[in-house]
Structure 1
Amino acid sequence: MAASLWNRCIKELETELSEQQFNTWIRPLQAVEENGVLRLFAPNHYVVDWLNSNFLGHIIRAATELSEQTITKVIVEVGSKEPEPAPAVRSRPPNLTTLAPRIGSKLNEKFTFDTFVEGKSNQFAKAAALQVGDNPGKAYNPLFIYGGVGLVKTHIMQSVGNLIVSRDSNAKVAYVHSERFVGDMVRALQHNTINEFKRAYRSLDALLIDDIQFFAGKERSQEEFFHTFNALLEGDQQVVLTCDRYPKEVDGLEERLKSRFGWGLTVAVEPPELETSVAI
């Protein structure tokens, strides 16, 4: 079966590639095997092109060696082995200029791509973030950045927000720590203003949520964020998330959220090499 073959391939590839390469490019793939053809499904065309250019040889070799039957072809394409149900059509919420500025914290103007120290450990995350800042809602949505504490995830995230605002001064961009989102929701429930809370968050052009792992175990917060996330993506509004680990490794986070996070691009930020550490 494809799942069994692909699981064996994953274990083999994990030993060959760096953690960043494996988690960014190989781990999100889904597989279907049929009549000697292994079909791999990636979240977007950028990932397909990168896999074909850089890792297809590794995948073919692993599949050929580990398959119990002859594999004649490996195909990488955009899609899912189990199509997602069509999202319900909903109109974009009205712009609430009085509520949106209250959301989250003000962007730190010092956190820009110009002040960012690039190195091998973070160059792909920076490149992806630049694409998002240049094409919010269209490049990679959501953009999910993960890595350990102190690895410039917040700097990259806020650089996206500052770039969006620099290109459009009217853009409504909110930087929110996940605990702040929970606090806003609790206050809205206490004061019977949950509808205003929903409209305010869902009217944003870009929502940047830091440390998404703090949603773990908070079922009501995850429920509300799930619907907010869906509404934003359906309206081509950008979502950027950070986490201290790969999303599927966060215990207490609902599977449907983990699945949604994989719709865009997931990138790792690794500990910097010595030269980058000195520059920082």
Structure 2
Amino acid sequence: MERRFISFDRKRKTPKRPHKTVVYLHSEKFVQNMVTALQKNQIEEFKKIYRSVDALLLDDIQFFAGKERSQEEFFHTFNSLFEYKKQVVLTSDKYPKEITGLEERIKSRLVGMNVMIDPPDLETRMAIVHKKAELADSHINDDVAYFLAKNIYSNVRELEGSLRRLIATSNFKKEEITLDFTKETLKDLVSLQERLITVEQIQKVVAGYYKIRVSDILSAKRDRKIAFPRHMAMAISKDITSHSLPSIGDAFGGRDHTTVLHACNKIKNLRTTSSSIEQDYQNLVHSLHN
């Protein structure tokens, strides 16, 4: 998620609804602003600012964990906005119920209002590259966009940073942004660095992660202890390699491409409903790229 930090004394009018006020900031900034307000004896002004907005967007609310005074202020701010039917959008790296040190009354307020946001897929990352390049008055062809989207996958900020570096280097050297130019310029940043990950490597890493054998993944065993890691390995193979579904199926003991597709869809759905499975997926992909 792209972050733009806005101090508590700056309110933003939205372009399409200039009479509406939106405040977006990181939870750490919320805490810092509250502490400053307390030190300057301006806590009432602080409350007025946050409780008079039409929409409050707070990033990384897990930062509130263990901070009783901050949670107290946030709780009453949330209730005030909710009472007046204002919008509150919060993000965290896990479900609120899983945040240790977050008060139960806050967790209970957020029950049933949680949505898992998947990292952008390859096509979306390519679209982001093209759009950001356009905003920078620069042209990026599809080959370059694909290379960036395929190799820089961890988050959008890293993708944007790589694009900015690419454009800046191109302008400085007065060279066209070609695929070769991109590979050379970003060779120390891209995840793959010209290293191809094989399905066999994926099988080995996944098997080790779930403490089973590669032979189990390739076997016909259907118990969940074996089937789930197999599905995970298939999904990762589809996501980070250029192999086709039939090719992946062949590498998994000669399975049909429809079996691979079913496994991929199953993992994709589970990642949206289970933060632990999403974390497993990200851990495995990160391990393979490092």
Same fold (TM over 0.5): no
TM-score by length of 1: 0.41
Whose Rg is larger?
2
With CA pairs under 8 Å and 6+ residues apart, which has the higher RCO, 1 or 2?
A: 1
Looking at secondary structure, tell me which structure has more helix per residue.
2
Looking at secondary structure, tell me which structure has more strand per residue.
1
